[in-house]
Structure 1
Amino acid sequence: MDSISPNRRFWNRISSAYQREHDPQIGATPRLWGTYAIPDAHLNALGDVTGKRVLELGCGAGQWSRALAAEGATVVGLDLSEAQLAAAAHAMGAARYPLVQGAAEHLPFAAESFDVVFCDYGGLSWAPGHLAVPQAARVLRRGGRLVFNAASPWFEACYDEAGGRATTTLHQDYFGLDTIAEDQGAVSYQLTYGDWIRVLRGAGLVIDDLIEPRPEPGTVNGYNQTDPPDWAHRWPAEMLWVTHKPTD
């Protein structure tokens, strides 16, 4: 299904409210992964990007992109939503970088243009993986890295739609994970772990690590209230894939 148009409308509608609610967390400190704001220094997923050409898929208001540009990366921020890109331009500050409107499943860049492609949720949560991952692999240079964080299929399988939260009971068919209906006709995407592996390997990428970020007991989900206390300490709420494109 083509989710580009409804997802673009959705993010254009909610952008201002989303940034008001979430920027205090995701914009406060650089390089924090996911809804539990776990530092990259603890997970060592993205690593040093100084002097590298970096593409953020679904940059939103550019919180990650600003931080990496300030570190000396040559960053390009891509987003489907004009409103999100306007928020990124407004907040850009001294660390200037290009902003491009586009979809993760149709990247408007030449092959082998980037050393790193990454997202924290973003493009690989809001585009079909079997389309977006090959695009990310195409624009990566040899030896380049694709690193992305997304909701775990465990979280999706335990999510109670009626209650609007994860539970300790399975609610969704794990093998039926694919499209997830969001508000206002928007669609996000999820795969099983096996399907993620097949999509990544099918795009010619080597999987270096699968990190399941685990917050310490008592850590509050600062992004939303969908998890009962310590749910993500006991089961994986997110998955952080670290991959690279072979050199030969």
Structure 2
Amino acid sequence: MSQDSQHTPGPRSTDLRTSAEPAAGAAPHGAPHTGPVPPPEPAAEPEAVRRPAGNAESSRANRGWWDRNADEYQREHGDFLGDDRFVWCPEGLDEAEAGLLGEVAGRDVLEIGAGAAQCSRWLAARGARPVALDLSHRQLQHALRIGGGVPLVEADAGALPFRDGSFDLACSAYGALPFVADQVGVMREVHRVLRPGGRWVFSVTHPIRWAFPDEPGPEGLSVAASYFDRTPYVEQDEDGEPVYVEHHRTLGDRVRDVVAGGFRLVDLVEPEWPEWNSQEWGGWSPLRGHLIPGTVVFVCERA
């Protein structure tokens, strides 16, 4: 499960090997050390604002954010996600039990916003032929670290580098969609690469959460903003450049996006918080999860 974003230069497959970089504070090649190197100035905390942000800004910001934060994300959540488990959300809804994709054996499956490709590994173990796509180079390096032989593609979900009708199924567990300005564009791309009758299942933050503070404790239970305010959430640096962008859609907006993309909505799943799950994940927690939904999963079929 990965919250991923799109990059503007266009889709590309990639060799994920990286060259060695000098350690922080090291002198340039051939330059003598003349004394102690002072530590770098700490980066200023980004400012959180609500303001418009288009595709290009969102893509640049989110690709950079995930490349910088992939290591921490995998350290913090890797045990919960596992190496080859298909988890739809912080609530812990597992595809092995939910069966939202239907039969996967023998199917060509595209995972969008795959992160370290945990879901794709689960699919491969059950006889599917998955392809794991993500924008973040660093997230895909974690997929290589874990291994498993799943094909990896670094590409933009808004410009999928596949022929029409290449896949039977497509899925995304918190990948790509929360971070893309042009939601319908992504839907149409997924529709294009699916075969007739193909299923498209994706999970995102439940839209009602946008009215509440993103806090796991009691302070996250009081409405603090308008549910109907679609202005993107942006974290920007001291020069006003966005370093993280997330886009809000109401529940009705998302249903209309699905239909505009050429899909039929088969089911809408709002996972309840299970008793076994005691973890906090950002604003997700047992306290909030027992009172308000945190995730919504859309189960769609290509019309």
Structure 1 and Structure 2 fold alike (TM over 0.5): yes
Q: What corresponds to 2:190 in structure 1?
A: 136
Matches within 5 A, 1:123-162: 123-128=176-181, 129-160=183-214
Larger Rg belongs to: 2
1:172 aligns with 2:225: yes
For the 8 Å contact 2:83–2:146, the answer to whether it is kept is: no
Q: Which residue of 2 aligns with 1:112?
A: 165
Q: Which residue of 1 aligns with 2:254?
A: 196
The TM-score with structure 2 as length reference comes to 0.74
TM-score (norm 1): 0.89
Q: Does 1:230 align with 2:284?
A: no
Aligned-residue offset at 1:98: 1.2
Q: How many residues align?
A: 241
Q: Deviations over 1:132-191 (max 9, x none)?
A: 11111111110001100110011122125xx68672222222111352225761112231
Q: What is the aligned partner in structure 1 of residue 28 from structure 2?
A: none
Query: 1:108: Cα distance to partner?
Result: 1.3
Shift of residue 49, structure 1, vs aligned partner:
0.8
**Aligned 8 A contact 2:216 2:287 in 1:** no
State whether residues 7 and 186 of structure 1, in contact with CA within 8 Å, keep that contact through their aligned partners in structure 2.
Answer: yes
Q: Residue 116 of structure 2: which of 37, 49, 61 is its match?
A: 61
- Kept in 1: contact 2:213–2:224 (CA 8 A): yes
Counterpart residue number, 2:7 = none
What does the per-residue CA deviation read over 1:21-57, in whole Å, with 9 as the maximum and x for residues that have no partner?
A: 1111111562222012122244331232111000111
Moved more, 34-43 or 47-56: 34-43
SS at 2:298 equivalent: strand
Unaligned runs of 5+ in 1: none
Letter in 2 for 1:117: A
Q: Structure 1 residues 164, 212: closer, same or farther in 2, change over 3 A?
A: closer
- Choose which of 31, 48, 52 in structure 1 pairs with 2:86: 31
Match of 1:103 in 2: 156
Q: Is the 8 A contact 1:177 1:190 kept in 2?
A: yes
1:81, distance to aligned residue in structure 2 (A): 0.9
Aligned CA RMSD, in angstroms, stands at 2.0
Where relative contact order (Cα < 8 A, 6+ residues apart) is larger, the structure is 2
CA distance change for structure 1 residues 11 and 228 in 2, over 3 Å: closer, same or farther?
Answer: closer
What is the alpha-carbon distance in structure 2 between the residues aligned to residue 210 and residue 33 of structure 1? 13
1:213 match: 271
Q: Secondary structure at the match of 1:185?
A: strand
Amino acid at match of 1:242: V
Q: Which amino acid in structure 1 is aligned with residue 91 of structure 2?
A: Y
C-alpha distance 29-113 of structure 1, shift in aligned 2 (>3 A)? closer
Structure 1 distance, partners of 2:60, 2:178, is: 15
Q: Offset at 1:225?
A: 4.2
Q: Is the 8 A contact 1:57 1:124 kept in 2?
A: no
Structure 1 residues 181 and 49, CA gap change in structure 2 (3 angstroms): same
Could you list the runs of 5+ residues in structure 2 that have no partner in the other structure?
A: 1-53, 237-241
Cα 1:232–1:19 shift into 2, 3 Å = same
CA distance in 2, matches of 1:90, 1:102: 19
C-alpha separation in 2, matches of 1:43 and 1:115: 19
